């Protein structure tokens, strides 16, 4: 079927949509329209207001002011089920899945109907064939990989034969090859006359897929354009509103001493939901940044915990820091050896949400800096003044923006909290830094600041291991790249010899021979 | 119309300080309604309950006596609850503390050494700590739910104490009543002043509250307790062990509950009998929350709960109101305390039907 | 052993297991929806006093049972309002419900102490109760017993065979996913808690109308807590709750018989057995981490504040 020509009345239109949370205007008079048979990009940085707008369109949030029009008629979308009845389907960035339930049960829960579970499973099977999305309706979701989980979300949406499909950052969890498959499905849906609202900050994808784009910044629509007529650079500056400092690659300092050495690390899965680590070997030398690419859930969390000492290795240990065997040592002794760790999850792992910044400084520094931060020996009385001074120093060095003198961690924006957490470790100039997803969900300005800080640390003679899902970031900072898949790690390759396609194949678990 | 919550960016300090008082006020209102339903004059009843005991020196002293075990136990519970360990078996630890503490004074009855009292106190603390160690180690080692295991141990402790005072330790001259021999003077916790009912247990309680208050607020151990209670994963990242904390918190709280037990036995009853279990271990849970898990707040909260007990006895004598009303008050109080805590972290608002907040069409 | 004696022992096991089964089945539904209500003991004792007093007032124990169901359900809504609407800590609030229930029931029941109660008599099922062995064993018991068995089957069918049951399980697995899909998380949980309260209330009525038809303060003596342990033991499966409740009933009856037959063990130790057994069972279950981790409703005890 040929795409219908754009009509005078858009399929969906918003006029002056405003949403206020407390003192924050998450959406400020947003005007936006999407035509039939169009793949329309909604571009913007984290915190630009895209998610809020989308939640309003899907009925999860109610606007404080403004009006939504569907086929030219004014409507209030008061609930997701009403949105679905209208013909709006949504694929969330964070999947709305139930891990303990089967695929068919998950699909059945997403819409109201009189279909039996068996009938739901049958229709799902048909749809998955039609659109090239293989899926077993009887599988338990907890056992599925991320790419398969996304297929459930898409099939859920297709079950209701929607006219508008909203996809929120769909490729952030996919390999490049999986993304290509997704794009083919999207083109097929568009050719059937459906509209697709595609939310992303990946400009290449948007240029490939979309024929229209709305760009948001600070809750407002700043531009609407045809992305095919723009360059990636022009789109980026519209999105960010200012030029972002380009990260400066340091002169490769590889060839220094081996500061972190992992040899044939294996570890069984600790829980039913964990990944076993298998025969991991890695050497990080002074002066280099090693990036570990891979899709989330392939053992990165377990590997980070093994490196940090949050889980201890078995005797006959296989992890050495600065030449010292540390497999049996916890995170505090490893910090005392001048290693530092930055976990992926900011709130609830790297920081305690309800505690003040100064307390969160003490969290990671009480062992390495006990001489200054604690007093009276075994009694270990906290020197509150010193802790506050240290925290202040980190805040100044990393330009952390905050609303109060010493606010709780949860009160900071993601980017500012990440700057604080990174700065907390850099402040003591560690010889080895292991960091997971250094700029995940961080705005572009803070991201380039953080990446620069990692490069500077390596240039000063430290070893940096960065676990990341973001290929752009990896190519920006890494001297060498290794790929993690299914609990295994490939040998690191100089980044100049690595391509996105090869990483993609390795991420998907293809052996090095095939990928190379 | 629907009630909705909105998270505050930073929790309200003003409400954090005032919320226990709001809860108290609401409890009084609910109490007045309850008295009205029971056909008693509401205002006069509240006066009998909460004001009269304060005007009478004997009642004031009884408040101190009652508050002592409540404060001791609740201070220990504050360590547990702050660290995310739900010890609700303090009543059992209190009983076993009383039992262990009574061991030397009963078995070595007539031993005149001045060491007897200190040893009895140490035994009491050790008994409570050991009894608390059971659910702690089961949780740390096997992941057993500590709420249920610590509570089950209360029922067992009650049976064990009952057996001891009716069986092996029963006073042969006790005319068949359950209970041990009365302790000799060197095993009795001295009164605070001559002929007082109030004993040195009160000093232990205040001392414990001050020490724990300092430790929680100023030391690395206190920091560890807070961090593990709020986020075990961040605690592990900080190099703290949740399993060791479970043991630590239970042992501290068990030792304090045990001290409360032996103080009650040695300071008030002067022997071990079958009436030791008065529910202090459960009331202390209310004290801990009313004091917002702050040991200094717990001192005040302990006095308030003790006042409600004494007021309850007062009201029974003066107005024929059931002394169970005190328990109802305490239950209501805990409800209101928990409800008011919500105000600290959330703004509460009302909305009409969905979409009712819209300002423009 | 005489077959008649054996039958009477098994029947007494059923009588002692019924309140545990009822309360645990109700709590199972609550926990399947992701809420931990530690107030079972409090709701149960409120049911016991309500059952007793309504039966006294009406002279009809069936009205008593109905009163207990209503009171249990209403009382549970106090907890529901706090944990669901005000998002208070579930553990502390459940404890508060238990403490309040014990106090309130003591006050309400003060006048009933020592009064003879009205017994809910056995209800012989016509024809079936005349069958040899099976008749007295299964078809010659009180109505609440029949209700408890029907309830387990109904709950199993509801949770695993109906769309609404699927929603309950979904809400308990991930309230954020459920909310995003437009499933009314809070409403489902209110209803689940009310159901749990009704079951606990009926369980209490069984104590004060069938087991010992009278009122004594604190007569639940920890059965509500044992019911909570049973849910864990059963790893949130109705069939296993049935097995667990009868195992506990058997332990209780065994210790009664041991006491009566003059075993040279102090009665206090025998009376501790059910509590000790609970701890042992909890340890054994917890040791099997794989089983517990897979079956525990993932959202259990987690606070949920819907965004708007």
Whole-number percent of chain B with pLDDT over 70: 96
Handedness of CA A49, A24, A75, B349 (dihedral sign): positive
Distances (CA, A) of A8 to A16, A210, A409, B112: 19, 19, 49, 104
- Residue C5's CB is within 10 A of a number of other CB atoms, namely 9
The torsion angle over the Cα atoms of residues A200, A201, A204 and A209, rounded to 10 degrees, is 20
Chains that contact A by 3+ CB pairs under 8 Å?
B, C
- pLDDT tens-digit readout, B305-342: 999 999 988 888 888 887 788 889 889 999 999 999 88
Q: CB-CB: which of A62, A81, A100 is closest to C182?
A: A81
Q: Do B155 and C38 touch (CB under 8 A)?
A: no
- 49-108 in B: which are within 8 Å (CB) of A? none
- pLDDT tens-digit readout, C97-112: 999 999 999 999 988 9
d(CA A297, CA A150): 14
Residues 6+ apart with CB under 8 A from A203: A43, A227, A232, A235, A236
- pLDDT tens-digit readout, B184-243: 999 999 999 988 899 999 999 999 999 999 999 999 999 999 999 999 999 999 999 999
Q: For an interface test with C, give the residue of B23, B309, B327, B347 to mutate (most C CBs within 10 A).
A: B327
- Contact list in A for residue C168 (CB cut-off 8 A) is none
Partner B contacted by C222 (CB < 8 A): yes
Distances (CA, A) of C297 to A101, A469, C172: 11, 30, 5
Q: Do A59 and C163 touch (CB under 8 A)?
A: no
* Between A302 and B346, residue with greater pLDDT: A302
- Contact list in A for residue C162 (CB cut-off 8 A) is none
Q: CB-CB: which of C181, C290, C298 is closest to A99?
A: C298
Q: For an interface test with B, give the residue of A363, A383, A385, A413 to mutate (most B CBs within 10 A).
A: A363
- pLDDT tens-digit readout, C214-241: 999 999 999 999 999 999 999 999 999 9
Distance of CA A72 to the CA centre of its chain: 36
The torsion angle over the Cα atoms of residues A272, A274, A276 and A281, rounded to 10 degrees, is -170
DSSP type of residue A347? B
* Between A135 and C152, residue with greater pLDDT: C152
Q: Do C182 and A79 touch (CB under 8 A)?
A: yes
Q: Do B223 and A362 touch (CB under 8 A)?
A: yes
DSSP string for residues in A211-260: SEEEEEETTEEEEEE-GGGS-HHHHHHHHHSSPPPPP-PPPP-TTS-EEE
pLDDT digit of tens for each residue in chain A (516 aa)? 444 444 568 999 999 999 987 777 889 999 999 999 999 999 887 778 888 899 899 988 899 999 999 999 999 999 888 898 899 998 887 788 999 999 999 999 987 777 888 888 898 889 888 888 888 899 999 888 888 888 899 998 898 889 999 998 888 778 788 888 889 999 999 999 999 999 887 788 888 899 999 999 888 999 899 988 888 778 877 877 765 566 666 555 556 889 999 998 988 888 777 889 999 999 999 999 999 998 888 899 999 999 999 998 876 668 999 989 998 899 999 999 999 999 999 999 999 999 999 999 999 999 999 999 998 888 899 999 999 999 999 999 998 888 788 999 988 888 889 999 999 999 999 999 999 999 887 777 788 889 999 999 999 999 999 999 888 889 889 999 999 988 999 999 998 888 888 888 888 776 555 444
User: What DSSP element (H or E) covers A492?
Assistant: none
Strand partners, B5: B348
pLDDT of C308 higher than 60: no
The answer to whether the beta carbons of residues A164 and A34 sit under 8 Å apart is: yes
Average pLDDT, chain C: 91
Residue A516: the pLDDT is 46
Lookup: tokens for B101: 């503490």
Phi, psi values for residue A199, rounded to 5°: -100, 130
Handedness of CA B318, B319, B321, B326 (dihedral sign): negative
Q: CB-CB: which of B166, B324, B341 is closest to C110?
A: B324
- pLDDT tens-digit readout, A69-101: 999 999 999 988 889 889 999 888 778 899 999
- Contact list in A for residue C177 (CB cut-off 8 A) is 95-98
The answer to whether the beta carbons of residues A108 and A160 sit under 8 Å apart is: no
Q: Do B231 and A62 touch (CB under 8 A)?
A: no
**DSSP strand pairing (A289-293 vs A463-467):** parallel
Q: For an interface test with A, give the residue of C160, C181, C184, C290 to mutate (most A CBs within 10 A).
A: C181
**Which ipTM did the prediction report?**
0.90
pLDDT of B8 higher than 70: yes
Residue B352: the pLDDT is 60
Strand partners, C228: none
Q: CB-CB: which of B138, B156, B341 is closest to C275?
A: B156
- pLDDT tens-digit readout, C25-77: 999 999 999 999 999 999 999 999 999 999 999 999 999 999 999 999 999 99
Residue A6: the pLDDT is 46
Handedness of CA B46, B50, B53, B59 (dihedral sign): positive
Q: Do C170 and A98 touch (CB under 8 A)?
A: yes
Residue B359: the pLDDT is 31
- pLDDT tens-digit readout, B278-311: 889 999 999 999 999 999 999 999 999 999 999 9
Give the CA count within 13 Å in the CB-facing half-sphere of A310.
Answer: 23
- Contact list in A for residue C289 (CB cut-off 8 A) is 271
Lookup: tokens for A8: 């005078």
Distance of CA A368 to the CA centre of its chain: 30
- Residue B54's CB is within 10 A of a number of other CB atoms, namely 12
Q: Is A5 exposed, middle or buried (0-12, 13-18, 19+ CB in 10 A)?
A: exposed
Lookup: tokens for C276: 């000790």
pLDDT of B59 higher than 70: yes
Mean pLDDT to the nearest integer, B105-129: 95
d(CA C253, CA C258): 8
Q: For an interface test with A, give the residue of B2, B216, B233, B239 to mutate (most A CBs within 10 A).
A: B239
Handedness of CA B342, B343, B345, B348 (dihedral sign): positive
Phi, psi values for residue A324, rounded to 5°: -100, 135
**DSSP strand pairing (A493-494 vs A324-325):** unpaired
Whole-number percent of chain C with pLDDT over 90: 69
Q: Do C182 and A59 touch (CB under 8 A)?
A: yes
Residue C66: the pLDDT is 97
Q: Where are the alpha helices (DSSP H) in C33-125?
A: 40-58, 61-80, 90-108
Q: Do B339 and C92 touch (CB under 8 A)?
A: no
């Amino acid at each position: 079927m040929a795409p219908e020509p754009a009509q005078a009345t858009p399929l969906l239109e918003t006029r002056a949509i405003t949403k206020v949370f407390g003192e924050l205007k998450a959406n400020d008079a947003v005007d936006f329209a999407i035509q039939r048979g169009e793949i329309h990009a909604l571009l913007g940085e984290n915190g630009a207001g895209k998610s809020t707008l989308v939640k309003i369109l899907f009925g999860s949030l109610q606007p404080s002011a403004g009006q939504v029009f569907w086929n030219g008629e004014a409507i209030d979308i008061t609930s997701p089920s009403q949105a679905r009845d209208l013909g709006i389907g949504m694929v969330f960035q964070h999947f709305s899945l139930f891990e303990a339930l089967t695929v068919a049960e998950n699909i059945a829960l997403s819409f109201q109907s009189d279909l039996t579970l068996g009938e739901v499973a049958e229709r799902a099977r048909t749809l998955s064939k039609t659109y090239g999305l293989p899926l077993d309706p009887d599988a338990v979701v907890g056992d599925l990989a991320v790419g398969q989980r996304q297929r459930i979300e898409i099939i859920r949406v297709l079950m209701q034969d929607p006219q508008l499909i909203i996809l929120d950052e769909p490729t952030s969890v996919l390999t490049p090859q999986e993304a290509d498959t997704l794009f083919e499905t999207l083109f097929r849906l568009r050719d059937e006359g459906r509209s697709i609202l595609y939310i992303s900050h990946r400009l290449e994808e948007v240029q490939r897929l979309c024929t229209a784009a709305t760009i948001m910044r600070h809750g407002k629509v700043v531009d609407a354009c045809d992305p095919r007529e723009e360059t990636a650079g022009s789109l980026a500056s519209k999105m960010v509103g200012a030029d972002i400092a380009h990260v400066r690659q340091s002169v490769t300092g590889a060839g220094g001493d081996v500061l972190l050495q992992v040899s044939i690390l294996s570890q069984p899965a600790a829980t039913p939901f964990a990944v076993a680590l298998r025969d991991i070997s890695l050497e990080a030398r002074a002066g280099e940044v090693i990036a570990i690419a891979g899709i989330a859930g392939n053992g990165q969390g377990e590997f980070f915990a093994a490196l940090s000492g949050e889980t201890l290795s078995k005797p006959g240990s296989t992890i050495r820091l600065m030449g010292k065997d540390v497999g049996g040592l916890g995170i505090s002794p490893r910090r005392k050896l001048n290693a530092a760790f930055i976990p992926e999850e900011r709130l609830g792992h790297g920081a305690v949400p309800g505690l003040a910044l100064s307390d969160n400084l003490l969290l990671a520094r009480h062992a390495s800096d006990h001489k200054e931060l604690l007093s009276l020996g075994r009694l270990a009385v906290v020197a509150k003044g010193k802790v506050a001074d240290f925290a202040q120093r980190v805040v100044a060095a990393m330009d952390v923006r905050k609303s109060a003198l010493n606010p709780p961690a949860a009160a900071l924006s993601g980017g500012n909290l990440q700057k604080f957490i990174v700065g907390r470790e850099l402040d003591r100039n560690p010889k080895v830094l292991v960091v997971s997803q250094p700029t995940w969900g961080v705005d572009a300005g803070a991201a380039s600041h953080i990446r620069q800080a990692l490069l500077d640390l390596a240039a000063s003679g430290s070893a940096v291991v960065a676990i990341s899902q973001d290929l752009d970031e990896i190519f920006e900072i890494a001297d060498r790249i290794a790929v993690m898949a299914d609990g295994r790690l490939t040998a690191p390759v100089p980044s100049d010899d690595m391509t996105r396609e090869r990483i993609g194949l390795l991420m998907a678990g293809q052996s090095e021979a095939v990928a190379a | 119309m629907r009630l909705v919550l909105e998270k505050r960016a930073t929790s309200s300090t003003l409400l954090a300080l005032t919320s226990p008082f709001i809860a108290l006020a609401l409890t009084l209102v609910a109490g007045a309604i309850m008295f009205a339903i029971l056909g008693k004059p509401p205002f006069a009843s509240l006066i009998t309950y909460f004001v009269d005991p304060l005007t009478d020196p004997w009642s004031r002293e009884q408040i101190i006596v009652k508050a002592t075990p409540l404060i001791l136990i609740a201070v220990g519970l504050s360590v547990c609850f702050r660290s995310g360990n739900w010890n609700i078996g303090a009543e059992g630890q209190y009983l076993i503390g009383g039992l262990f503490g009574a061991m030397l004074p009963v078995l070595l009855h007539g031993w005149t050494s001045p060491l007897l009292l200190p040893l009895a106190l140490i035994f009491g603390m050790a008994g409570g700590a050991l009894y608390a160690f059971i659910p702690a180690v089961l949780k740390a080692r096997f992941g057993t739910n500590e709420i249920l295991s610590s509570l089950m141990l209360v029922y067992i402790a009650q049976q064990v104490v009952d057996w001891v005072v009716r069986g092996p330790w029963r006073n042969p001259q006790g005319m068949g009543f359950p209970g041990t021999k009365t302790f000799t003077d060197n095993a009795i916790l001295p009164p605070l002043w001559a002929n007082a009912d109030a004993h040195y247990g009160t000093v232990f309680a205040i001392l414990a509250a001050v020490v724990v208050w300092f430790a929680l607020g100023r030391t690395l151990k206190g920091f560890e307790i807070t961090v593990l209670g709020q986020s075990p994963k961040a605690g592990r990242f900080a190099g703290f062990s949740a399993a060791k904390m479970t043991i630590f918190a239970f042992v501290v709280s068990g030792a304090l509950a045990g001290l409360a037990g032996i103080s009650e036995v040695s300071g008030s009853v002067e022997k071990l009998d079958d009436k030791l279990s008065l529910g202090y271990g459960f009331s202390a849970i209310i004290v801990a929350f009313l004091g917002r898990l702050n040991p200094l707040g717990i001192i005040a909260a302990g006095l308030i709960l003790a006042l409600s007990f004494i007021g309850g006895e007062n009201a029974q004598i003066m107005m024929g109101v059931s002394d169970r009303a005190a328990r109802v008050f305490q239950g209501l109080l805990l409800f209101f305390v928990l409800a008011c805590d919500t105000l600290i972290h959330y703004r509460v608002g009302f909305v009409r039907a969905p979409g009712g907040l819209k300002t423009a069409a | 052993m005489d077959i008649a004696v054996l039958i009477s022992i098994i029947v007494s096991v059923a009588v002692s297991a019924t309140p545990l089964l009822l309360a645990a089945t109700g709590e199972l539904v609550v926990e399947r929806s992701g809420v931990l209500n530690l107030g079972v003991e409090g709701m149960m004792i409120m049911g016991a006093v309500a059952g007793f007093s309504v039966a006294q007032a009406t002279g009809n124990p069936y009205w008593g049972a109905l009163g207990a169901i209503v009171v249990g359900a209403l009382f549970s809504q106090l907890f529901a309002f706090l944990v669901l609407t005000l998002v208070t800590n579930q553990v502390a609030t459940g404890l508060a419900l238990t403490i309040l229930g014990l106090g309130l029931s003591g006050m309400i029941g003060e006048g009933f102490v020592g009064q003879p109660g009205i017994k809910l008599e056995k209800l012989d099922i016509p024809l079936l109760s005349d069958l040899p062995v099976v008749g007295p064993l299964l078809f010659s018991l009180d109505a609440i017993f029949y209700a408890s068995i029907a309830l387990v089957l109904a709950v199993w069918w509801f949770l695993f065979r109906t769309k609404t049951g699927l929603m309950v399980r979904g809400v308990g697995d991930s309230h954020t996913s459920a909310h995003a899909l437009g499933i009314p998380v809070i409403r489902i949980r209110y209803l689940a808690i009310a159901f749990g309260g009704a079951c606990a209330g009926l369980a209490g009525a069984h104590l004060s109308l069938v087991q010992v038809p009278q009122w004594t303060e604190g007569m639940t003596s920890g059965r509500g807590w044992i019911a909570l342990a049973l849910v864990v033991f059963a790893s949130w499966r109705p069939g296993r709750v049935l097995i667990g409740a009868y195992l506990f009933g058997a332990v209780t009856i065994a210790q009664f018989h041991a006491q009566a037959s003059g075993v040279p063990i102090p009665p206090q130790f025998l009376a501790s057995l059910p509590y000790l057994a609970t701890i042992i069972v909890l340890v054994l279950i917890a040791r099997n981490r794989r089983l517990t981790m897979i079956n525990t409703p993932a959202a259990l005890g987690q606070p949920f504040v819907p965004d708007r």
